[in-house]
Chains A and B, each alone.
Chain A
């Protein structure tokens, strides 16, 4: 078994779900494709997951559940999502329970925990409205105060699981005067309100995640008792924005599951398919495409686990980190799926060919991840509003409290360290105290310099890692100047140049997250991880976003990375910096040449 405890749940779940390539397994590709073709909700899968008691891992231990940390959570959501994003997303709407764990009364927490554990209950998030989209304050849903509660009137749409959920988290206007304190959040328990006063809207037909219960909900002077209000009246927007910091960061796990399957099924094809007397994989161009996809997954891994653990170590910084990850990881992995589709050739577009056509489903399903819970643009906007303060904090904190910074970074990135318990009350609407990830670049460079005496490291690889990290520092310095020189404005008509600055910031944050992940885990994630070739290659990939290739050190030999990818494929391990064990594929399924006899041309 994996020595890192936070991966045990994911491994156990994998084992019990079985090989997705075996049609008889739960959540097999065959099963999820059949459901998708019929646009049917995955009831059987969801029931199975409840019986497995996976919902307990959404409930913090102090509320009677098993949740201990977001890195564990991210890992098992990847497991669901690599098989079926439709079911994965449907089951994981439960992560909005965080609104209650953060702001609920003891009674509300107990209520919800028991609803999830004992009644296989689920919930949905009813924020958006047809006419207002992301403009939460512009909504028309009203909750008018009456004796003992509120009368709720209005419509929320589109909502994932609106019809099937027993609890809807509804954002409604409690102060007709408007403004940021005009909204309150309600945990509406359908079983306790008058069924004549609310209705579910028809299923919405969608491009991907076709079996989803995508609909809406409508209230008509529906009495909602005071006990269903979360937090004080007027705190709805604040709570909603803090809740998004959690759900947005965790959305990355959906994309990582999808990217794993996209790469795995394409590799299977490339290794087995012969053309011009060779396998597709033997040809340099497809091999490079697949290796780069693997590198992108590793890069995103470092960011996702970083923010997952950062929730516990630096909650006051997460407003920036979660926007970075929601933007960067989901869009990068969308690109990964697109890039590898070329290797699969026309099969990527076929609905039955190759692994039951799972690739085209991944492509369709995954396209929504960068859009929901705040689109890419919404996330970049959330970040760009904080850029000036981030820049100022970086200057203000430069060279100060280095010991504390170093301790925070090592607790965040060293996967063997025990995390403090997450406290949602410590989340802040805007970043407090800067961004440790970029603040620590000088420390990172100093740590890297010290590794020059490590005889186990290839000096060329280390040289590249140091050089790219220095380039990051230069790029960050010039970005800071760019931010400072820009004439910032409020409002929603931000210049496109600001979005570009926010994008650059995301790339730099991601690159730095990779460097720390390596520095702090070199001794316990195996030889491939430790030798750092993957890091040098990843940093080069990232810096290509900021500089032309000729301005960067040349690409080092990537055959070691390619070999590792094949090893993980052959051993059925997650494509990840922590390649935990997946369900073993059955022999008859791997009738292609994807066996150890495969020789890499090194």
Chain B
């Protein structure tokens, strides 16, 4: 997969999971609002992308590039991000944390454990 495909597939999975719809129903050329993602949701999703890509992105990214295809193209062409193919989509970051959450322990240690830092 090239970078554009990787980003597209990450976004498809992320949006499918959080909107509880099948990833196969999402077309990368359709405006995201068609799937029930509202304007503020598409701002908050950028935060997750920043974490995944480890880059600071404009929070209105998905307002200005309102389809998955346009956003992915912009990120590769203009921002120059190149996600590794191994960086597979992790829309279920929350449940992953759940599995590792040590019972009764504070948050600081938890994140160190996940991030390995």
Contact = CB atoms under 8 A, between A and B. Distances in A.
Interface in B84-117: 94-95, 97-98, 101, 106-108, 110-112, 115
7 smallest beta-carbon distances between A and B, as pairs: A395-B111, A480-B107, A180-B39, A477-B106, A490-B41, A180-B63, A389-B47
B40 A488 contact: no
Contact of B60 (A180, A382, A484): A180
Contacts of A395: 107-108, 110-112, 115
Given A489-B20, A490-B37, A430 B107 contact: no
Contacts of B43: 429-430
Contacts of B41: 385, 490-491
Contacts of A484: 94, 97-98, 101, 107, 110
B110 A137 contact: no
A396 B111 contact: yes
Given A181-B64, A392-B111, A490-B38, 15 more contacts: A137-B39, A241-B40, A382-B40, A388-B94, A392-B51, A477-B106, A481-B101, A484-B97, A484-B107, A485-B97, A488-B94, A489-B18, A489-B20, A490-B37, A491-B37
Contacts of B64: 181
Nearest to B102: A481
A178 B63 CA distance: 11
Nearest to A442: B108
A430 B47 contact: yes
B102 to A, nearest CB: 9
A428 B94 CA distance: 25
A490 B60 CA distance: 16
A362 interface: no
B18 A488 contact: yes
Interface string A167-184: 000000000001111000
B3 interface: no
B83 interface: no
Interface string A396-436: 10110000000000000000000000000000111000000
Contacts of B18: 488-490
B23 interface: no
Given A137-B39, A385-B40, A485-B98, A490 B19 contact: yes
A382 B43 CA distance: 11
A389 B44 contact: yes
A385 B60 CA distance: 15
Nearest to A491: B36
Interface in A255-311: none
Contacts of B40: 241, 382, 385, 429
Interface string B20-46: 100000000001010011111111111
16 contacts: A137-B39, A180-B42, A180-B60, A180-B66, A238-B60, A385-B41, A395-B107, A399-B108, A477-B107, A477-B108, A484-B94, A484-B110, A485-B101, A490-B18, A490-B37, A491-B38
A468 to B, nearest CB: 17
A237 B39 contact: yes
A487 interface: yes
Nearest to A479: B107
Contacts of B59: 428-430
Contact of A481 (B19, B95, B107): B107
A181 B33 CA distance: 12
B33 to A, nearest CB: 6
B63 A179 contact: yes
A394 interface: yes
Contacts of A179: 31, 33, 39, 63, 66
A538 interface: no
A277 B3 CA distance: 83
Contacts of B46: 430
A266 to B, nearest CB: 40
Contacts of B107: 391, 394-395, 476-477, 480-481, 484
Given A179-B33, A487-B94, A481 B38 contact: no
